[in-house]
Structure 1
Amino acid sequence: MLDKHLHILGVRGIPAQHGGFETFAEKLSLFLLAQGWQVTVYCQEEGNGPTWESTWQGVRRIHIPIGYSGAAATVIFDWKATWCALSERGLFLTLGYNTAIFNLLQRLVGQVNIINMDGIEWRRDKWGGIAKIWFWLNERAGCWIGNHLIADHPKIKEHLATRVRTDKISMIPYGGDEVTNAEVDLLAPYTIEPGHFSVIIARPEPENSVLEMVRAFSQTRRNHKLVVLGNFKPESNSFHRQVMISASDEVLFPGAIYEASIVQALRFFSRFYLHGHRVGGTNPSLVEALGAGCAVIAQDNHFNRWVAGSEAAYFKDESACAGLFDRLLHDDATVEHMKTASRARFQERFTWPQVLHEYEELLTRWYPSK
Structure 2
Amino acid sequence: MKEIALLGIRGVPAQHGGFETFAEKLSLYLIEKGWKVTVYCQESGKGEIYESIWNGVNRVHIPVPFSGSFGTVIFDWKSIVHSLNQSGLLLTLGYNTACFNLLQRMKSQVNLINMDGIEWRREKWGIVARIWFWLNERFGCWFGSHLIADHPKIKEHLSTRVKTEKITMIPYGGDEVCNADASLLDEYNLVPGQFSVIIARPEPENSFLQMVRSFSRKQRNHKLVVLGNFDIERNSYHRSVIDSASDEVIFPGAIYDTATVQSLRFYARFYFHGHRVGGTNPSLVEALGAGCAVIAHDNHFNRWVAGPDAAYFRDEADFCEILDRLLPAEDIALKMRAASRTRFKDRFTWEQVLGEYEELLTHWYPTK
What is the alpha-carbon distance in structure 1 between the residues aligned to residue 102 and residue 256 of structure 2? Answer: 35
The separation in 2 between residues aligned to 1:87 and 1:16, in whole angstroms, is 25
Q: Which amino acid aligns with 1:305?
A: R
Question: SS of the counterpart of 2:135?
Answer: helix
- Equivalent residue, structure 2, for 1:234: 232
Structure-2 residue corresponding to 1:126: 124
Of the three residues 76, 79, 90, the one matched with 1:78 is 76
Superposition deviation, residue 261 in structure 1: 0.7
Query: Once superposed, what is the RMSD of the aligned Cα atoms?
Result: 0.4
| Cα distance in 2 for residues equivalent to 1:117 and 1:135 | 11
Residue among 133, 136, 150 paired with 1:138: 136
Shift of the alpha carbon at 1:165? 0.2
Q: Which residue of 1 aligns with 2:199?
A: 201
CA drift at 1:40: 0.2
Aligned ranges for residues 34-53 of structure 1 at < 5 Å? Answer: 34-53=32-51
Which sections of structure 2, spanning at least 5 residues, go unmatched? none
Structure 1: which 5+ residue stretches go unaligned? none
Three-state SS of the structure 1 residue aligned to 2:37 is strand
Match 2:25 to one of 27, 47, 60: 27
Structure 2 distance, partners of 1:233, 1:53, is 36
After TM superposition, the score normalised by the length of structure 1 is 0.99
CA offsets per residue over residues 273-311 of structure 1, 9 Å max, x none? Answer: 000000000000000000000000000000000000000
What residue identity is the alignment partner of 1:268?
Answer: F
Structure 1 counterpart of 2:366, from 347, 365, 368 = 368
TM-superposed deviation, 1:315? 0.1
Give matches, 1:149-160, under 5 Å. Answer: 149-160=147-158
Task: State the Cα distance separating 1:33 from its structure 2 match.
Answer: 0.4
Q: Partners of 2:295 and 2:202 in 1: how far apart? A: 17
Shift of 1:21: 0.2
Match in the other structure for 1:220: 218
**AA of the residue aligned to 1:171:** M
Aligned pair partner of 1:263 in 237, 261, 265: 261
Deviation at 1:110, TM superposition (A): 1.0
Deviation (angstroms), 1:217? 0.5
Matched, 1:292 2:316: no
Look up the match of 1:181.
179
Q: What is the CA–CA distance in structure 2 between the aligned matches of 1:141 and 1:73, rounded to whole Å?
A: 20
Give the CA deviation at 1:248.
0.3
Question: How many residues align structurally?
Answer: 368
Question: Does 276-285 or 235-244 show the bigger shift?
Answer: 235-244
1:52, distance to aligned residue in structure 2 (A): 0.4
Paired AA for residue 107 in structure 1: R
**One-letter code aligned to 1:339:** R
Moved >4 Å (runs of 4+): none
Query: Structure 2 counterpart of 1:40, which letter?
Result: T
Give the secondary-structure state (helix, strand or coil) at the position aligned to 1:211.
helix
- The 2-side partners of 1:236 and 1:91 are apart by 43
Look up the match of 1:312. 310
Q: Secondary structure at the match of 1:162?
A: coil
Match of residue 53 from structure 2: 55
TM-superposed CA distance for 1:333, in Å, is 1.1
Q: What letter is aligned with 2:329?
A: D
Residue 342 (1) aligns with residue 340 (2): yes
Q: Which of 263, 270, 275 is residue 272 of structure 1 equivalent to?
A: 270
Partner deviation per Cα, 1:16-67 (whole Å, 9 max, x = no partner): 0000000000000000000010000000000000000000000000000000
Give the secondary structure class of the aligned counterpart of 2:31. Answer: helix
Give the drift of 1:76. Answer: 0.2
2:3 pairs with one of 2, 5, 14: 5
Shift of 1:313: 0.3
